Structure 1
């Protein structure tokens, strides 16, 4: 059953898809272009701020777009209310949600447009459903999580004026043969022991405090907060040990990356994987993790290039 909120400025809709009540806003256009499906980051964030801040630009440019709140996120139902429950959240399920949404909207081909963690979903969708993917656009992507964890630890150490103490070698030496050492999780724990997660990510992702304040203002306007249980469920499934790069070589659709030179959570380490193994076309902007906040015009130009090149 589908509920349509006709009076909503977002033209928002919820539908029961792939075992979950998912919220999305569909912004059609008089165009034969493939529809963009925006996949937010977090994990546990929502699509409201991107639509609010950049949706009009996409509409003016004539691009049809769908803004999805991933399962358990934003205006979608909590994980506990899904058929799969809280413990079954993984990349396969999130990709399945995107495919169910595409089929629900009767779209032939889409352009998965993923940001941060959402880029991982976009890439895996393109790998699994090339017949329904025109191209994939990854903005500030995260694909190698043990490496991301090391970046977090290195930055936290630098900000606290302490030498980098990577626990990886010691952990590997202590792990019994046949067991997998949770290197990523250990690195993240060490990083957050030095500096809390919010302050660390803010330092990594926002070159301009005004941009961070603008995003927080929009979040407050939308009255939506991050869902911690989503991140916790993915971590429980081993997110910090996950290395996606080997799968990049199996993607047959064109990959385009938009990265910010000031986004230490993604550039250059994460971006390099997509260029080296996925053959991605990479555009680097003078921005942070949220390029549409730092330089909307530059991001609009880069995205238009990625969608039409």
Structure 2
């Protein structure tokens, strides 16, 4: 397992899978170990995946200062990894809350990114967030599912602020396009793979300055792919489309019947879509 040193001296780990052109992968969660990304639906057959364990997660060390879990404080970690790999410019793929880290990296180091793939990515860094109304809209699409009634009742308690741990577990099927044994196994690793203290600090006050970030990406010439799940609430496809409009060179793909982890719902479709986007930039 290779490691490198972050600017503050923290030892960080990354995992390499596959062959070919490198693709730097930043996990979401927030602050979930990169293991949950797996091989991204077989994308490792097309690209050499370099999956970063963010500080305090997976095989990376816990930093001396927990304040460095804040999203903007981790931008230097991404740049240190790029330098460690000896890459002049990198293709970056990120998932979910990792979208904020990738966007801040793009704003701070625009010449270092060749392309950016946002997989069901957050964009709080650009002033876009997901709301209860978005969650309700996506949840309504799942009314025919056998688990819907119990999961929706739990969702209501979440929105009311009275949820138990069991309620949080009960809403998990909403985040997968197909709630089967594979999805259940994937979801079961969430707690053990997530650094909850770090997750709580990730979006702490001061992490994001949307006006500055928007101005930076508006002048950016890199290619951007936003891949949304048709059944996902974060972001809804129409919200992902609005995010795409903030970039000069962005395209949107909505994967049918997919939730928040689209590489699980249709591995081949996901990997071929992303690989085709990356190949167009060669």
Superposition TM-score, scaled by structure 2 size: 0.78
- Is the alpha carbon distance of 1:13 and 1:228 closer, same or farther for their aligned partners in structure 2, counting shifts above 3 Å? same
1:124 to partner: Cα distance: 2.4
**Match for residue 230 of structure 1 among 177, 190, 198:** 198
1:22 to partner: Cα distance: 0.8
Q: Confirm or deny: 8 A CA contact 1:126 1:133 kept in the other structure.
A: yes
Rg (Cα) greater in structure: 1
CA distance in 2, matches of 1:46, 1:195: 25
Q: Determine whether 1:272 maps to 2:241.
A: yes
Q: Confirm or deny: 8 A CA contact 1:292 1:300 kept in the other structure.
A: yes
The count of corresponding residues between Structure 1 and Structure 2 is 259
CA distance in 2, matches of 1:305, 1:156: 28
Q: Which residue of 2 aligns with 1:205?
A: 175
CA distance in 1, matches of 2:61, 2:226: 30
Secondary structure class of the residue paired with 2:168:
helix
* Structure 2 segments unaligned to the other structure (5+ residues): 141-151
CA distance in 2, matches of 1:235, 1:127: 17
Q: How does 1:18-97 map to 2 (within 5 A)?
A: 18-19=7-8, 20-27=10-17, 29=19, 31=20, 33=21, 35-51=22-38, 53-54=39-40, 57-61=42-46, 63-78=47-62, 82-83=63-64, 85-97=65-77
Q: Confirm or deny: 8 A CA contact 2:158 2:168 kept in the other structure.
A: no
Q: Determine whether 1:13 maps to 2:2.
A: yes
- Deviation string 1:50-91 (CA, Å, 9 cap, x unpaired) is 23x437x33422x2221101112222122xxx24x1123323
Q: Confirm or deny: 8 A CA contact 2:117 2:227 kept in the other structure.
A: yes
- Deviation string 1:155-209 (CA, Å, 9 cap, x unpaired) is 699834999xxxxxxxxxxxxxxxxxxxxxxxxx972615457347624411322
CA distance in 2, matches of 1:156, 1:305: 28
Q: Which residue of 1 aligns with 2:78?
A: 98
Q: How does 1:1-309 map to 2 (within 5 A)?
A: 12-19=1-8, 20-27=10-17, 29=19, 31=20, 33=21, 35-51=22-38, 53-54=39-40, 57-61=42-46, 63-78=47-62, 82-83=63-64, 85-144=65-124, 147-151=129-133, 154=136, 159-160=152-153, 191=159, 193-195=161-163, 198-199=168-169, 202-210=172-180, 211-216=182-187, 219=189, 224-237=192-205, 243=210, 246-247=214-215, 248-279=217-248, 280-286=250-256, 287-309=258-280
Secondary structure class of the residue paired with 1:99:
helix
CA distance in 2, matches of 1:267, 1:162: 17
- Supply the RMSD in Å over aligned alpha carbons: 3.2
Q: Which residue of 2 aligns with 1:6?
A: none
Q: Confirm or deny: 8 A CA contact 1:143 1:270 kept in the other structure.
A: no
The ranges of structure 1 where at least 4 consecutive aligned residues each deviate by more than 6 angstroms after the TM superposition are 155-158
- Is the alpha carbon distance of 1:161 and 1:125 closer, same or farther for their aligned partners in structure 2, counting shifts above 3 Å? closer
CA distance in 1, matches of 2:104, 2:161: 32
